[in-house]
Structure 1
Amino acid sequence: MATMVNFHAHPDDEAIATSGTMMKAAEEGHRVVLVVATKGEQGEPAAGALDPGETLGERRATETLEAARIIGADRVEFLGYEDSGMAGDEANDNPACFWQADFAEAVGRLAAILAEESPEVLTVYDPNGGYGHPDHIQVHRVGVEAARETGVARVFYATMNRTQIRRQMAEVASMAEAMEEIEPERAQRVEEEDFGTEEADITHAVDVSSYLERKRAAMLAHVSQITADSFFGSMTDQQFADVFGTEWYVAPGSPRRGPFATDLFG
């Protein structure tokens, strides 16, 4: 049995980006640890999602624990920072936010967990954090340095296959139209050159098609953010399989010269 640590920025990031890989690892007998930098305080809660007196951070932490249960994670830890918001938001200047964190201190918090767990695998985000979110970029920076300090040899960048997503949007008009209508900001990001990673630069493609029902359930556990009528929640089974049936990673310093590798532990 080996250990995998998945480092994420906000609640629901784990469900969207790496939950299938985490489920696969757990099913194969590996220990799965989820570390989340913030509680996603800058998210926009769905109408009626919060109980009286409940903060969004409290709600999202509870949702994370439920998603982790569905995934099969053995341990969940929050690093204790606040959500920095999108690039350019006033929240970027909050001294308690992850973007403003003392770098050495943040590395130390994650490194302490890595030292306890001695993982064979650590996942973070690609250098641009997928789409330029400050907290995602900070996850990359902090995660890479904490891995270096604690000797984690196998570090993978969870990313999005930019080539595939654009191809799907071009081929399936209904998907592009739904994204434009329901989540226009997300649709705009897909067109930007720093969104995700080109397929030629991706090294690992993990087939998670066997876990799609549970992956959707883990996403919908974050009910304050992902509702049944949201873009993700309203996908047909086929659309969901097309978009989320594979999770993509980059092994830094190991360019792909043939087929995708399929196992982060291999």
Structure 2
Amino acid sequence: MTSRRLLLVHAHPDDETLTTGGTIAHFAAQPDTSVTVVTCSLGEEGEVIPPELALLEPGESDQLGGYRIGELAAALDALGPVEHRYLGGVGRWRDSGMAHDGAVRATTPAVLHPRAFARPEAFDAEVAALVEILREVRPQTVITYDADGGYGHPDHLRVHAITVAAVAQVPARLFFTVIGRETLAAGLARLAGLDGSPFRMPEPDELPSVPDKLVTTRLDVSARRERRLAAMRAHATQIALWEDGEPGIGTVALAMSNLVAQPMLDVEEFIAADGEPGGLFPEEEP
């Protein structure tokens, strides 16, 4: 067993890359350090970007979950040597999908699939499955979403809740992945000055962020750029990319199926659950 063990809990394939891809790649490259990613569903309810793959969607052939297994495997290969687990086994819980509040926030659908991850009666079994993984891996550091889940997706909210409950049983240092408001604004400002992007710029507060004073931990992931880009490309059903200038050094914009531009940032930010500033591991710079 390695001396340092990091475990990340994510809701769907692609979440690991979008929110913590640089962190995964950073620690996967470190000596005597292991990285374990736990994914809680197959992302069966996702919206597909490439038209030629649209028949994978749940309203058509409903094969998206199986397709995303391959996307996730390729993304994790790009990020570095990573151990991966599906919570409860492959396909144990299904992507709950999401509704919208009429603005930019996600809400829980009125009707949930019988195997939906966000179903109230599934909570205890989900916690037990995560506790089993924590007891086996014994991570010193665990990363998941904050209490808001970033933008309110019911599966992100549930992942936060079960991770907090599981870590209470198997203690570890707990961090929540976020984006600071000023960090996001600076990234968007760089995109706003570019021509040729196929994506529209977001409206005010359309992308989730938190007040910068809440951020306790920042990790420079600029050295992991190529690995992150390769992982994003692997999630082709969910992530569209556009790069301005010479490949590898230009400014990068990414977008989900709504085609709203998001900046690819060179820093990943976190809130420590205990509120204490510092690195993800004690010897890491904050």
Give the aligned partner of residue 235 of structure 1.
243
How far apart, in 2, do the equivalents of 1:168 and 1:219 lie?
A: 18
- The 3 A distance-change label for structure 1 pair 114 and 122 is same
In structure 1, stretches of 5+ residues that fail to align are none
Q: Does 1:99 align with 2:118?
A: yes
2:205 equivalent among 188, 191, 199: 191
Q: CA deviation digits over 1:65-101, x for unaligned, max 9?
A: 1111111243211122111122346476223111115
Is this contact kept in 2: 1:50–1:59, CA < 8 A? no
- The 3 A distance-change label for structure 1 pair 96 and 243 is same
Give the aligned partner of residue 48 of structure 1.
52
How far apart, in 2, do the equivalents of 1:121 and 1:92 lie?
A: 35
1:24 equivalent among 26, 29, 51: 26
Q: How many residues align?
A: 250
- The 3 A distance-change label for structure 1 pair 265 and 12 is farther
Which one-letter code corresponds to 1:62 in the other structure? Answer: G
Residues 1-266 of structure 1 correspond to what in structure 2 (within 5 A)? 1-29=3-31, 30-45=33-48, 46-49=50-53, 55-79=63-87, 80-86=92-98, 87-88=106-107, 90=109, 93-101=112-120, 102-152=122-172, 154-170=173-189, 172-174=191-193, 178=197, 182=199, 187-188=202-203, 191=205, 195-226=208-239, 230=240, 233-236=241-244, 237-240=249-252, 243-256=264-277, 261-266=278-283
- The 3 A distance-change label for structure 1 pair 110 and 118 is same
Identify, as 1 or 2, the structure richer in helix. Answer: 1
Cα shift at 1:111 = 0.9
How far apart, in 2, do the equivalents of 1:223 and 1:10 lie?
A: 14
How far apart, in 2, do the equivalents of 1:225 and 1:132 lie?
A: 18
RMSD of aligned Cα (Å)? 2.7
How far apart, in 1, do the equivalents of 2:111 and 2:227 lie?
A: 34
Q: Percent identity?
A: 30
Is this contact kept in 2: 1:85–1:91, CA < 8 A? no
Is this contact kept in 2: 1:33–1:73, CA < 8 A? no
In structure 2, stretches of 5+ residues that fail to align are 99-105, 254-262
Cα shift at 1:138 = 1.0
- The 3 A distance-change label for structure 1 pair 254 and 50 is same
Is this contact kept in 2: 1:84–1:91, CA < 8 A? no
TM-score with structure 2 setting the length: 0.78
How far apart, in 1, do the equivalents of 2:70 and 2:54 lie?
A: 11
Q: CA deviation digits over 1:22-55, x for unaligned, max 9?
A: 1111111211111011111111122223799781
How far apart, in 2, do the equivalents of 1:37 and 1:5 lie?
A: 13
Q: CA deviation digits over 1:140-168, x for unaligned, max 9?
A: 1111111111122x111011122321344
TM-score with structure 1 setting the length: 0.84
How far apart, in 2, do the equivalents of 1:11 and 1:172 lie?
A: 26
Is this contact kept in 1: 2:107–2:154, CA < 8 A? no
Which one-letter code corresponds to 2:215 in the other structure? Answer: I
